[in-house]
Amino acid sequence: MAVQKLQGKRAIVTGGATGIGYGIAQRFIAEGAVVIISDIDQPGGIAAAQKLGPNCEFVQQDVSLPADWEHLFAVADERFSGLDIMVNVAGVTLMGTIEDMDVETWDKTMGINLRSCFLGCQGAIKLMKADGGGAIINMASVSSFKAQPELVAYNASKAGVDMMTKSVALHCARSGYGINVNSINPGVIQTDMLKKVISQVEDGEALMDSYKAMHPIGRIGEPEDVAAMAVYLASEEASFITGSAFTVDGALGLN
């Protein structure tokens, strides 16, 4: 029987009702972890936790709100008496160029994609440093370094996640907390978020075909592709890795 890489670990995964978040939670549990998933979608989150089984619990959360983060960490502290793994997945892709995007859409993107990672890191560090360390994984994107004109807010938010991750990693390393902080840059992944992106344009089928063509490997990604990297970064095998960005994109970033 294969050794479980996360045996006994305590984890939070945001955006866990569907997509990448659900895939990561599923894989973490298979590797021996207990997981709290959070999501703004209460019915979806409850259903996901039921599917994931007794080692998963759901907490409803708007990741842009500090009060919701305080509640989530309070639940984790009560249930787990600490935290080993924090995975900031929850995000949104709202399309628009610099000329047609309004301030409300910009602010919503920053709140969900970037502020959430700031608040997630801040709260996780508080729990982890008092308990011997841990691992924080922030979900950035190929869009953190590959610009597209119609993704002005998304590009900016994910670039922010990338650089913030490095800053947080350096702080934790120099402080001797034993907390490793890394990010993952997925390519286009088959998720509900992708479906929402496709729904924002007139010819969604053409957009999907273009996304597939952008990946030299010949396909878009699946949540399991990203989950495999998350397991590695959360495990003891990655104990010497911090402040790095890991691209999981089928060579999209090179195309």
Catalytic residue among 22, 154, 177, 211: 154
- Token pair belonging to 3: 């050794």
Q: Is 101 helix (H, G, I), strand (E, B) or coil?
A: coil
- Beta strands at 179-186 and 245-248: parallel, antiparallel or unpaired: parallel
Output the six-digit token pair for 151.
């993704």
22 tagged catalytic: no
Exposure class string for 141-172: b at 16+ Cβ within 10 A, else e = bbbbebeeeebbbbbbbbbbbbebbbebbeeb
DSSP 177-229: --EEEEEEEE-SB-SHHHHHHHHTSS-HHHHHHHHHHH-TTSS-B-HHHHHHH
Is 237 exposed, middle or buried (CB count within 10 Å of its CB: 0-12, 13-18, 19+)? exposed
- Residues labelled catalytic: 154
